[in-house]
Structure formats: structure tokens, C-alpha cells
Amino acid sequence: MGLTIAQKIIKEHLISGEMTPGSEIALRIDQTLTQDATGTMAYLEFETMGVPRVLTELSVAYIDHNTLQSGFENADDHRFIQSMAKKYGLYFSRPGNGICHQVHLERFGKPGKTLIGSDSHTPTGGGIGMLAMGAGGLDVAVAMGGGAYYITMPKMYKVNLTGKLRDFVTAKDVSLEILRILSVKGGVGAIIEWGGEGVKTLSVPERATITNMGAELGATTSIFPSDEVTKAFLEAEGRGEDYVELKSDEDAVYDKIVDINLSELKPMIACPHSPDNVVAVETLKGTKVDQVCIGSCTNSSLLDMLKVAALLKGKTIRPEVSLSISPGSKQVLAMLADCGALSDILASGARVLECACGPCIGMGFSPNSGGVSLRTFNRNFEGRSGTADGQVYLVSPETAVAAAITGEITDPMLLGQSLSVTMPDKFKIDDSAVIPPAPQDEAKDLPILRGPNIKPFPDSKPLGDNMELPLVLKVGDNITTDHIMPAGAKILPYRSNIPHLSQYCFAVCDETFPARAKEAGESIIIGGNNYGQGSSREHAALVPLYLGVRAVIAKSFARIHAANLINAGIMPLTFANPDDYDTLSQGDVLKLDNIYEGLESGSLTLKDVTTGEEILLSCSFTDRQKAILKSGGLLKYVGQGNL
């Protein structure tokens, strides 16, 4: 039987396990990346492992999330990460150099390699045929220390592309269309391979937009073939030697095939507050727009920005709309400046922001009260923009510009003649903002620089054989990590300070949760389907751990979050019968007995002491996951000699 592209890369990197969907596999990891919002914690964890030098082929520490300074906190964390990178053998990408995924694609990613990153949009690397996955910081720390990355062998899905995108219909519309078809849960447990005749019509940045937003489908990752288009991109980046061809076998078998005819697609838009709440742009025609933001790791490539500049050229944005543009990298910004496109952008009245995540993670540019904000980003979860009642829509750069110049949601196909924007033959290469590590012989004497914002991470406890604890919080379906542990300018600088962060845990759903959890001492949370979707932030597990949460029982979990809970020593348990969710109420006391026996048999009986009801839970953990839970989390497990 033939293999898919992902199966070929997995086979080459397989350390242990069977490549049958559902079984646990251990993968050798070639490259890692971190960003600062998850990186500080990841490096604190790496430090405790006592490994003198990273053991990957390449590891890069990016600073791109926390770049707004209003105190010492971010600067403390940046300095800490820089000193860790220098000492332990990592490249350090300075603030301003760009968004990790964009820069990694430009300068470091290689087809056929494995990459894990402490950021859920790491699958962007799938645009050049990498097996690139988002992971919790601790999993990245382990991979830097030479340990394997464990995942459940995914199913293989294929999206078969035919045709060619029409003018003003973009890769972002392809992403939104697949979200409309499959939903935010539709990719869970799967790798999505993009194939078919239509693939060759898509450039690398367009492919990367699509693999980036595979994260919103819940997919383990997404991947494109590595072909002539990939080769040309790598050559233009001066990295032609990194090219290898990658394609699936003719007789590769897929668990699901979705067909999309690019020629028939229309501009699409995701409505508040979920990336899969997708309709055609034309159906919302005329809706007044207050704000437009262009950028993020989804749509900040040179190609995107050149199109934006061409559309803005000679036009002025509406006085009632504010427009921000964040180029994805220093390379993109420098090339925009060199060719004059930056002047066209500035002349339109747009505000050009730093090459960073910026508004995407609520770092400034929050919409006005109840404001309608059209963003080229990948997530529009409630409150993520920093304005609780902000109405965030996700669109392509073309649709974004159409709104900025008309003041309302407008189908960009009405903008007129086609754009003649193409990929350059050569990118401008300037890696001066990437600082290489110190040579190994000098490294051991180098200091690690820490400031008072860096607090120790919470201590986890080994799993006992029983627990009787209150149900402190019951939440519904599709709870995101932005609900569990919000980000934004106010609290993002405290990612290395779990006690401070804990005051905001679940603030979007219930501001009284932290106090209640603290008072309870130890507790249980109940969730619906797809609990923990979105970000890879392990803070969404570490903060509940700090607040005493010992188990989360849900109808289903998002992949990275479930792994983060186990890594933190918190049990993610699922209802054997999802309807039992309805029988539990916040405030009930829940009892689990004979946990160790349950871990072996794969099921546990939950007794609701308050109502007397008994419920069956499933807990099908692998032997390794059981051992991690029993040790009290991955760090403790690694400390026992299990790297």
C-alpha cells in the first residue's frame, strides 16, 4: 500500500509505535521553535532537565508576541530567553524580526523535516512540506533535550484541489471554505494533505496560509507536497540546497477526501465568534465596519502585502475606519519599503505596526465598544481582541482592503481589474536580527539572566488512587484556551508568572472562578465537546494546576490541550455517554475511586455524591501517559530518568 506525504515523513522519523491510526507513536524531532509568550516557560522547563546543549538539528527562539512594553516584565522575559538561547545552542530572533511562523518559513524550514513549536500555528511549515506541529512548551523542551515527541498516529485526510482561484479569491477563502465544510472539530485526529491539480497554481505563501489555518480545524497538522513551486521559493530565499521533492504515492489511502474546485470559490468571511462560522462575503454586504487589521501569521507574507499595497494605491481609507497593517517579517517590511509599496500603504491612511503578532493576540488595536473589526487573522474567539463585545470577522487581505476603502463589508470582486502581483525571484536576505548561539566551549560559563517577573512554575502532584472533589466549573462546547487562560496586552506579559495569571483564569466565562477554585483547594472542571481548542499555551493547564484542578471531564478534547493537561499531571477524562454531561451541576461533589485500576481497564466510575448518580468515564491513556500522570506530570517523569 502506498504512503501519503505525512506517512513518509513519519516513517522516516519513527522512534517507536505502530503507524496505525489511534496508536501512540514517538517521533524524532529535527527542528523546534518557540515564541516568547510560551517560550519563557518552555526554557524554564528545559533548564530543569539539566541538558547542556539543545540536541536538535536546529532550534530557534522567537520574540514576536509580547512586544509592547509598559513595564519591565516583557524585557525581563526577552533577556532571559536571549541568554538561554546563547548558552544552550539556539538561534534567537529578536523582537521586530517578525512572526515566528513567517520567519521560520522564510529562513529555516526544510521540506521533509519534523518541526514542533510551542505555538499552535506551527503547521504553517506544512506549506513547504514539513511535518510541523504545535505542541505544549514542555513537549518542545523535551524535544530540545533530545527526547521524542509523542502523538497519536493520525488518520489521513486529503483535500483535492482542482481549478484555479479567480481574481480576488484567495488562499484565505480556501481556508475559510474548508472550515465551513469540516468545522473547528473536523480535523481532530487527522493530518490534512492538500493535493490535486490545483496545488501547482498556489504559491508557497498561499499554501502556508492554508496549512496555518489547519490549526483551526483541530488537525494534527496540514501539509502540501514539496514541488517546483517549493523549489523556486527556497531558491528565492537563497536556500535552494534545502529543497527535496515530496509527494504522496499514487496508491496512498486516505480516510476522507474532500474536493474543492478553486475556480468556483467566492470570497468568504468567518463571523463572530468562531472561525467556522463562515458565509460568503456577499451575504453580509453593506455591514458597517469600524476597524480593519491586516497581518498575523496567516496573511502577512510579501505577496499578501504587495496585493494590499496595490489595492490601496491612490486611495484613501474611509474616515470612520481605522486600518492597521503588520508585515509578517523584517524581510517583508524591507522589501515593501524598497519597492515603494510601503509609501502606497502609508499614503492611504493606514497605520503600519511592528512586524509581530500585535492585534491578533490582543496586543493593542482592540476594537471600539461593540465595534466591527475585519481581520485577516485566524481566530475570532470571543474577547480575544481585547474588547469583550468586539465583533471580529475573519477575511482575506483583499476583502479587508475592500472594507477599509468603502467603510462596509464589500465583496472584493467588485473592486475592478485584476492585480498583477507576483512572487519575487529573489528575496532580500538580511539575517542580522537573528543572533546565533555562543560556541559550545564558551557557553558553559555564560550566565542566565532573570528578572523578578519570572516565577517558578507550579508544583504538580502524583495522582492518588481516589479523589472526592467539588465540580467548581461547568462549561459548554468549544471552550478555547483563550477562555481558559486569556491573553492580551494586560496579562500576556505575565506568562512567566503563574500566580499573577491565575487571577484571570476563565475570566471570559466566569470571573469568580479563580476565587472559588482557590477556596475549594482541589477541584474538577466539566466541559463539552472540543474542550481546549485553539492555542498551544500550556498555561491553560498550568494555571488550573496552580488553582488545584485535578481532573477535567469533557465530551471531547482538543489534541494539544489534552497533552498539556497530562503533562501538568491533570487527568483529561471523557464521558462514555456524552448525555451524562447533562446530569452534572456546578457545585456537586464528585467522587472517583480505584483510579489506578480504572487507568488499567480504560474506564472509571464517577459518583456524583450530591445526586447519587453514577456515570461511566473513559480514560484510555497509553502506558507512558499513565506513568506521567502517576508521577505528577511530565517534568517529574523526565526527572525520574525518562527523557
Is 495 among the residues known to form the active site?
no
Of the pair 348, 380, the CB lying nearest ligand MIC is at: 380
- ∠292-298-302 over CA atoms, to 5°? 85
Dmax over CA atoms of the chain, in Å, equals: 72
- Among 7, 32, 38, 97, contact with ligand MIC (rule: CB under 6 A): 38
- Asked whether 498 and 458 are in contact (CB, 8 A), the reply is yes
Is 64 among the residues known to form the active site?
yes
Query: What is the rounded CA–CA span in Å between residue 497 and residue 500?
Result: 6
Q: Among residues 13, 537, 559, 561, which one is catalytic?
A: 537
Burial bucket for residue 217 (CB in 10 Å: 0-12, 13-18, 19+): buried
Is 104 among the residues known to form the active site?
no
Which strands, in side-by-side order, build the sheet including 155-162? 221-223, 190-195, 155-162, 256-261
Cβ within 8 Å of residue 101, ≥6 positions away: 117, 119, 121, 122, 124, 125, 208, 212, 297
The DSSP bridge partners found for residue 149 are 27
Residue type, 106: E
- Asked whether 62 and 91 are in contact (CB, 8 A), the reply is no
Cβ within 8 Å of residue 295, ≥6 positions away: 324, 325, 326, 327, 328, 353, 358, 359, 360, 376, 377
Please report whether residue 378 would count as binding ligand SF4 according to CB under 6 A. Answer: yes
- Among 97, 120, 175, 366, contact with ligand MIC (rule: CB under 6 A): 120
Q: Among residues 13, 36, 59, 65, which one is catalytic?
A: 65
Torsion of Cα atoms, 608 then 612 then 614 then 615, to 10°:
-40
Please report whether residue 121 would count as binding ligand SF4 according to CB under 6 A. Answer: yes
Taking the complex as a whole, the smallest distance from the CB of residue 317 to ligand SF4 amounts, in Å, to 22
Is 65 among the residues known to form the active site?
yes
Q: What is the 3-state secondary structure (H, E, C) of 542-556?
A: HHHHHCCEEEEEECC
Please report whether residue 107 would count as binding ligand MIC according to CB under 6 A. Answer: no
Cβ within 8 Å of residue 582, ≥6 positions away: none
Closest listed residue to residue 222, CA positions, set 300, 152, 122 = 122
Q: Near ligand SF4 by CB under 6 A, which window of 155-163, 243-251, 353-361, 522-530?
A: 353-361
Is 537 among the residues known to form the active site?
yes
Please report whether residue 104 would count as binding ligand SF4 according to CB under 6 A. Answer: no
Q: Give the x-and-dash track for 295-314 against ligand SF4 (CB under 6 A).
A: -xx-----------------
Residue 143 touches which of ligand MIC, ligand SF4, none (Cβ within 5-8 Å per kind): none
Please report whether residue 491 would count as binding ligand SF4 according to CB under 6 A. Answer: no
Taking the complex as a whole, the smallest distance from the CB of residue 90 to ligand MIC amounts, in Å, to 18
Taking the complex as a whole, the smallest distance from the CB of residue 629 to ligand MIC amounts, in Å, to 23
- Among 360, 492, 526, 629, contact with ligand SF4 (rule: CB under 6 A): 360
Please report whether residue 357 would count as binding ligand SF4 according to CB under 6 A. Answer: yes
Q: Near ligand MIC by CB under 6 A, which window of 246-254, 429-437, 533-541, 551-559?
A: 533-541
* Binding-residue total with ligand SF4 (CB under 6 A): 11
Please report whether residue 497 would count as binding ligand MIC according to CB under 6 A. Answer: no
Extended strands (E) in 304-433: 322-325, 351-352, 372-375, 391-394
Of the pair 65, 231, the CB lying nearest ligand SF4 is at: 65
Binding residues for ligand SF4, rule: CB under 6 A, are 65, 99, 119, 121, 296-297, 357, 360-361, 377-378
Binding residues for ligand MIC, rule: CB under 6 A, are 37-38, 65, 119-121, 134, 361, 379, 487, 534-537
**Active site (catalytic) residues:** 64-65, 119, 379, 535, 537
